[in-house]
């Protein structure tokens, strides 16, 4: 069963922390990375928030998948599409499942190109390909979210001038629009915000699945 | 192009979601203006009055006589402003950007001649510009070019690192400023619709070759050669002939240079030769991968990641189909060809054009006395290339 989908079904807010593959290698025995040790399962179920580790593949993808297989807890893999392409799309999808990864994020694979990988990730209980929306997505949000599973990655970058001219926080207008347009939960990725600010946005937005901390030093 | 943005398996749009809207705007406007006389007239205006088109098609009388076989012609794209052969492509993209309301041109050129071209054309069209230049291109003797761009109102940002870092920086800046910025490219590569747009604006090179040879004597070329490293000159020179492979002669309504049209007469497609350096054999030994927003052929490094710019997707597809041939040329042959053209015709080609010149000289004897062969030159010979030519000449003299 997909651990992230399980957490979302239980109504947990996700706190996604990015770790670089190169940083993780060598500290996999340190439980700092993940939260869900077997003995703590009963405590986790009482928390409203669940930590999810996002491994950013800055090295060899094969090594990254082996590393992921040794980690516990819900995992997201972030990689560029070139590495997936060179690995082989169907082999990659199969190895994602074997490594226990719940979701994969490929930032340079937009909606128009995602079909070639998504076709291998159709198992409803297997890993899912994360779709991404931005303020510039506009009318495409409906098409992007139609076949999305789990949650949508909501990137708060490239806010249009029209929104910036309005009084108040332009992000709030954007999130209001995303709330209206997005039928599935969305994860907030808002660059330049502290964790407290991210948590406040996630709490304030009705459809937010949680937030992501991408800066490696932001703990 | 069967699937939108694809040429066989090459092409596509492999960019972050934040840039998709900007690409969509460019594509929509490009498709709209394809039949728009206002756009065509404005582009022709800049091509004719600002860039001085048609560039000459020069008959190398002495070289042709020396080889005793076909007539050798040089398409002098190196006489375009700044020597950069992509002036039409840049002008077209800037006009598109202006039409969709952009106020600034963003560019990440490979060299300072391209940067100067963007600086000049955007100033002429009343747009601001931001040019990102990799530190490695700011060598000795380039201060004058940077100063010239500053005088033309350009904002220049020097990026620490090479081409890859500059492209990443450009993508970041464009993502944040896409409402007011148009990003221009110099080769027919990158994410769709850039390969399509640039090919359409650059095909004027091949159309001019056709017209000029008709005026010169009525014989179409038997071979055309261009360098893979010249900015979009190859696809521009080749495309009208490749498109001709299925249909009639080009579209005379869309350019104010009327093209001769002989109904019922089939003109054979000339041999199209793409010259590339053996030290960078992208089209002959490249590996398919994803980079720079497209799926194409790349040279991969030790980490299996793309190293440098990739192959232009449309050219890669024609080579795969066998309609175009890629020929790897050594640096020694390129230097010898450069010296040959310099001594015999008084034209020292740039580094990239020398590879095309070498490819032409290697094949020239396969054609007959009645044939025409054409080589496309663009760019200026930089100091490093001139020094290399001098060393090569010294080697020849010491050998003899």
Q: Tell me if chain A has a CB within 8 Å of the CB of B384.
A: no
Find residue A55's DSSP bridge partners: A19, A77
Q: Average model confidence (pLDDT) for chain A?
A: 84
For residues B370 and B64, is the Cβ–Cβ distance under 8 A? no
Interval A8-31 mean pLDDT? 77
Q: What is the pLDDT of residues B350-379, one digit of tens each?
A: 999 999 999 999 999 999 888 999 999 998
**Is it the case that residue A27 has pLDDT exceeding 80?**
no
Give me the pLDDT at residue B211, please. Answer: 92
Residues of chain A contacting residue B12, judged by C-beta atoms under 8 Å apart: 113
Interval A72-87 mean pLDDT? 95
* Cα distance between residue B380 and residue B145, in whole Å: 14
**Is it the case that residue B86 has pLDDT exceeding 60?**
yes
CA distance A90 to chain B (A): 16
* pTM for this predicted structure: 0.90
Residues of chain A contacting residue B180, judged by C-beta atoms under 8 Å apart: 161
Interface test with A, best of B101, B193, B290 (most A CBs within 10 A): B290
Interface test with B, best of A81, A110, A130, A174 (most B CBs within 10 A): A110
Q: What is the pLDDT of residues B163-178, one digit of tens each?
A: 888 999 999 999 989 9
Residues of chain A contacting residue B179, judged by C-beta atoms under 8 Å apart: 160-161
| Of the partner residues B17, B293, B303, the one whose CB lies closest to the CB of residue A134 | B17
How much is the ipTM here?
0.89
Give me the pLDDT at residue B268, please. Answer: 73
Q: Tell me if chain B has a CB within 8 Å of the CB of A79.
A: no
Which one-letter DSSP state was computed for residue A167?
A: S
* Cα distance between residue B144 and residue B130, in whole Å: 18
Contact flag A82-B289 (C-beta cutoff 8 Å): yes
Take residue B281 and report the two structure tokens written for it: 């054999």
CA distance A84 to chain B (A): 9
Percent of chain A with pLDDT over 90: 42
Q: Average model confidence (pLDDT) for chain B?
A: 88
Interval B314-337 mean pLDDT? 95
Give me the pLDDT at residue B83, please. Answer: 64
Q: How confident is the model at residue A39 (pLDDT cuts 50, 70, 90)?
A: very low
Q: Tell me if chain B has a CB within 8 Å of the CB of A161.
A: yes
For residues B81 and B51, is the Cβ–Cβ distance under 8 A? yes
Give me the pLDDT at residue B139, please. Answer: 63
Q: Per-residue b/e over A168-197, b at no fewer than 16 CB within 10 Å?
A: eebbebbbeebeebbeebbbbbbeebeeee
* Cα distance between residue B357 and residue B360, in whole Å: 5
**Is it the case that residue A73 has pLDDT exceeding 80?**
yes
Q: What is the pLDDT of residues B105-155, one digit of tens each?
A: 999 988 888 899 999 999 999 999 999 988 877 665 678 888 888 898 899
Contact flag A108-B306 (C-beta cutoff 8 Å): no
């Amino acid at each position: 069963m997909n651990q992230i989908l399980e957490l979302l079904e239980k109504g947990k807010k996700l706190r996604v922390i990015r770790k670089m593959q190169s940083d993780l290698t060598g500290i996999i025995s340190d439980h700092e990375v993940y939260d869900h040790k077997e003995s703590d399962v009963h405590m986790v179920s009482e928390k409203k928030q669940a930590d999810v580790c996002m491994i950013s593949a800055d090295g060899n993808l094969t090594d990254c998948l082996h590393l992921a297989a040794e980690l516990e807890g819900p995992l997201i893999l972030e990689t560029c599409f070139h590495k997936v392409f060179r690995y082989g799309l169907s082999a990659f999808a199969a190895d994602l499942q074997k490594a226990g990864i719940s979701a994969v994020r490929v930032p340079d694979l937009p909606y128009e190109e995602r079909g070639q990988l998504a076709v291998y990730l159709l198992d409803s209980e297997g890993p899912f390909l994360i779709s991404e929306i931005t303020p510039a997505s506009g009318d495409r949000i409906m098409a992007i979210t139609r076949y999305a599973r789990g949650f949508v990655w909501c990137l708060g970058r490239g806010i249009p001038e029209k929104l910036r001219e309005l009084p108040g926080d332009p992000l709030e207008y954007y999130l209001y629009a995303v709330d209206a347009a997005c039928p599935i939960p969305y994860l907030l990725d808002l660059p330049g915000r502290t964790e407290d600010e991210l948590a406040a946005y996630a709490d304030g937005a009705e459809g937010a699945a949680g937030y992501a901390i991408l800066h490696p030093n932001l703990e | 192009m069967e699937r939108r943005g694809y040429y066989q398996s090459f092409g596509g749009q492999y960019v972050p979601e934040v840039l998709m809207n900007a690409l969509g705007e460019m594509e929509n406007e490009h498709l709209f203006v394809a039949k728009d006389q206002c756009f065509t007239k404005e582009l022709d205006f800049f091509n004719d009055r600002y860039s001085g088109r048609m560039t000459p098609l020069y008959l190398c009388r002495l070289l042709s006589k020396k080889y005793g076989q076909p007539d050798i012609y040089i398409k002098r794209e190196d006489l375009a402003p700044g020597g950069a052969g992509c002036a039409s492509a840049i002008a077209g993209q800037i006009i598109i950007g202006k039409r969709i309301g952009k106020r600034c041109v963003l560019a990440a050129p490979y060299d300072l001649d391209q940067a100067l071209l963007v600086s000049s054309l955007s100033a002429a069209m009343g747009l601001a510009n931001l040019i990102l230049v990799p530190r490695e291109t700011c060598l000795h003797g380039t201060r004058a070019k940077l100063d010239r761009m500053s005088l033309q109102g350009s904002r220049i940002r020097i990026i620490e690192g090479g081409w890859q870092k500059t492209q990443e920086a450009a993508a970041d800046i464009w993502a944040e400023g896409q409402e007011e910025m148009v990003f221009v490219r110099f080769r027919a590569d990158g994410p769709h619709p850039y390969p399509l747009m640039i090919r359409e604006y650059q095909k004027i090179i091949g159309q001019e070759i056709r017209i000029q040879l008709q005026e010169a004597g009525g014989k179409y070329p038997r071979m055309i050669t261009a360098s893979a490293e010249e900015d979009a000159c190859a696809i521009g020179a080749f495309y009208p002939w490749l498109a001709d492979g299925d249909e009639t002669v080009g579209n005379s309504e869309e350019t104010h240079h009327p093209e001769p049209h002989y109904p019922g007469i089939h003109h054979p497609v000339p041999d199209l030769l793409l010259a590339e350096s053996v030290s960078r054999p992208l089209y002959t030994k490249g590996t398919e991968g994803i980079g720079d927003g497209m799926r194409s052929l790349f040279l991969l490094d030790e980490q299996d990641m793309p190293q440098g710019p990739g192959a232009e997707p449309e050219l890669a597809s024609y080579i795969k189909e066998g309609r175009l041939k890629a020929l790897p040329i050594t640096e020694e042959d390129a230097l010898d060809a450069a010296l040959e053209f310099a001594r015999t015709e008084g034209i020292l080609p740039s580094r990239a054009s020398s590879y095309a010149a070498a490819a032409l000289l290697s094949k020239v004897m396969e054609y007959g006395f009645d044939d025409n062969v054409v080589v496309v030159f663009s760019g200026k010979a930089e100091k490093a290339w001139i020094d290399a030519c001098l060393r090569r000449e010294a080697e020849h003299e010491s050998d003899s």
